[in-house]
């Protein structure tokens, strides 16, 4: 069946329909990861977005519950060069086509994704619509794309967040990494730490990595008050990744201010942006965002370059931060954007990328160990 991707500037791409035979809309972004498409499908940070995958062949190894980063896909739609109708992998439990159809996610394939990406890089991310069927009204689809609510000013974190607090069950088999290439987990006679994690769209591998450092993790809804979190007597508080613009999240910014200096706090991606706002900084939207598993980051504390996984559309303006109180710890070497910060006196730090990866490299896993060390030092 024919499918169309219509962008708000009038550019139209024609291809073949896979997945759900449905219409979807959202901001169109591209991801340069070579593997890990199911983890990308299920990353809640992609809520409100249609994802273009630059790797030309998608779906060939199927899907498995073990690779999901949440309970369901959060992408609005998928754009690929080739989409495999079959899977060839002993781990696969369902082909990708059936998996996305099951959750109502439309796919457009057999189009020139290189042309789509070049268009987005040159003109910036833009709103778009995927539709399937015969005799589609292209002008109407372009008009729909132009009518989509913009990402700026939109609070999507509270939409994707858990509605009730829960304890992460580290003993359940699917909640364990099973990855022999990971750095050694904390073992032996070490005190278990209690971490309260704010869910703005948290990826499950973050929870796995925290439990590998012998942390008991309680996940709470995005709008949980700082007072309620402190009442849980945490050893540390974590602020997760998530979708949308950080500026509307005034409740989260206020919680950081209330928790600062009262417990060690660690933020990733959207959590990093929230930290920046709480510390008096400003955020802005990137031209086409950072989405992929191969972004080089300079760690100014070690002088080493880390290859990182990233997925965000907004960044913290480093010039807006007070250098007397905030240290800039990491820089993105592709465009010199701020990629990490820490407070000079209070126990808080954050990064603009995904140290848990999934998919992606393991270069930055040490940050979870740093968080544990910070909690240990705080308790002394």
- d(CA 215, CA 198) in angstroms, rounded, equals 15
Q: Is there a catalytic annotation at residue 356? A: yes
- d(CA 320, CA 328) in angstroms, rounded, equals 12
Q: Is there a catalytic annotation at residue 119? A: no
Instruction: Say if residues 344 and 360 touch (Cβ distance below 8 Å).
Output: no
Instruction: Say if residues 223 and 163 touch (Cβ distance below 8 Å).
Output: no
Q: Which of the following is catalytic: 8, 69, 101, 269?
A: 269
Instruction: Say if residues 88 and 58 touch (Cβ distance below 8 Å).
Output: no
- d(CA 74, CA 40) in angstroms, rounded, equals 9
Q: Which of the following is catalytic: 27, 76, 247, 356?
A: 356
Give the dihedral of Cα atoms 349, 354, 357, 359; nearest 10 deg.
Answer: 170
Helix (H, G, I), strand (E, B) or coil at 91: coil
CA distances from 283 to 145, 199, 234, 276 (A): 25, 20, 29, 8
Q: Is there a catalytic annotation at residue 354? A: yes
Backbone angles phi, psi at 181, to 5 degrees: -90, -5
- d(CA 197, CA 268) in angstroms, rounded, equals 11
Which residues are designated catalytic?
A: 269, 354, 356
């Amino acid at each position: 069946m024919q499918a169309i991707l219509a962008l708000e500037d009038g550019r139209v791409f024609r291809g073949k329909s896979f997945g759900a035979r449905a219409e979807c809309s959202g901001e169109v972004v591209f991801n340069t990861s070579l593997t890990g498409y199911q983890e990308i499908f299920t990353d809640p940070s992609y809520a409100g977005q249609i994802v273009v995958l630059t790797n030309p062949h998608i779906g060939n190894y199927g899907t498995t519950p073990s690779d999901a980063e949440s309970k369901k896909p959060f992408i609005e739609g998928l754009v690929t060069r080739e989409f495999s109708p079959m899977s060839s992998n002993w781990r696969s439990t369902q082909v990708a086509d059936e998996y996305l159809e099951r959750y109502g996610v439309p796919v457009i394939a057999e189009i020139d994704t290189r042309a789509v990406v070049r268009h987005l890089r040159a003109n910036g991310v833009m709103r778009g619509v995927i539709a399937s069927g015969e005799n589609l009204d292209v002008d109407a689809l372009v008009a729909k794309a132009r009518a989509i609510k913009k990402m700026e000013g939109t609070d999507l974190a509270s939409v994707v967040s858990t509605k009730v607090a829960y304890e992460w069950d580290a003993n359940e088999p699917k909640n364990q990494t099973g990855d022999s290439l990971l750095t050694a987990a904390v073992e032996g006679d070490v005190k278990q730490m209690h971490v309260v994690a704010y869910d703005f769209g948290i990826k499950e591998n973050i929870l796995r990595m925290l439990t590998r450092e012998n942390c008991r993790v309680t996940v709470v809804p995005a709008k949980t008050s700082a007072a309620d979190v402190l009442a849980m007597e945490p050893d540390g508080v974590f602020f997760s990744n998530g979708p949308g613009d950080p500026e509307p999240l005034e409740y989260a910014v206020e919680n950081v201010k209330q928790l600062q200096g009262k417990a060690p706090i660690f933020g990733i991606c959207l959590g990093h942006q929230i930290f920046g706002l709480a510390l008096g900084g400003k955020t802005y939207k990137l031209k086409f965002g950072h989405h992929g598993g191969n972004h080089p980051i300079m760690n100014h504390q070690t002088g080493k370059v880390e290859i990182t996984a990233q997925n965000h559309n907004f960044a913290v303006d480093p010039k807006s931060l007070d250098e007397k109180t905030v240290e800039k710890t990491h820089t993105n070497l592709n465009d010199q954007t701020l990629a990490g910060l820490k407070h000079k006196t209070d126990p808080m730090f954050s990064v603009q990328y995904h140290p848990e990866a999934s998919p992606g490299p393991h270069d930055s896993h040490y940050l979870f160990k740093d968080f544990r060390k910070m909690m240990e030092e705080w308790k002394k």
